[in-house]
Amino acid sequence: MVWFLSYHHYQFIKIYMTMKSLQGKKIALVTENGFEEVELTSPKQALEEAGAEVDIVSPQKSKVKAWDHDHWSIELKVDKHINDVEEKNYDALVLPGGVLNPDKLRTNEKVVAFVKDFLESGKPVAAICHGPQTLIETGLLEGRTVTSYPAIKTDLINAGADWVDREVVVDNRLVTSRSPKDLEAFIEKMIEEISEGVHAPAPAH
């Protein structure tokens, strides 16, 4: 019975009951060392449980190390190096947060170009907590409605975004959330957007 299931299993069952299958979809999950563990592992597991293939993409060559609240945590295998991937080979992009992770990603030209290609393509992009910091570097947030961890609110507004304080925001295939406490809503909307496919591309800048 449902009340005997763990929170995450209940979450997955809810997704299965309300969302389309992601069978055949391929997702790029881009990260550096210092990602917030649950912001990567929970979306990754949900996507895989829904039938998607997920590649961890990174400037790191073999492994990436997680951050869990206030300490280093698990290591995960890197599936693809950022130099070896193209937007055309994926159906969606996911950017987990963590304070250290996006600070490194946003200074990597290959990462920024990869993320920019997704925004211009109209494919789903999902970013949580500090994850939207990397989106700033694309120059494509002008007029987009987003949310994030409050500490980067001003950065997003300065990039031209309309920042709102909600658990999840969807703006033409761009899904954003504030923090791990919003993961259930974030995952649900992320899977919904990926199942629907491509919308009209964002205008190029």
Give the residue numbers marked as catalytic.
129-130
Which residue blocks in the chain are alpha helix, DSSP H? 7-18, 37-49, 100-105, 109-121, 133-136, 153-158, 183-196
DSSP annotation of 152: G
Give every CB contact of residue 169 below 8 A, 6+ residues apart in sequence. Answer: 145, 146, 147, 175, 176, 177
- Residue 68 has φ and ψ, to the nearest 5°, of -125, 95
Looking from the CA of 113 toward its CB, the CA atoms found within 13 Å total 10
How far apart (Å, rounded) are the C-alpha atoms in residues 76 and 64? 5
How far apart (Å, rounded) are the C-alpha atoms in residues 106 and 204? 19
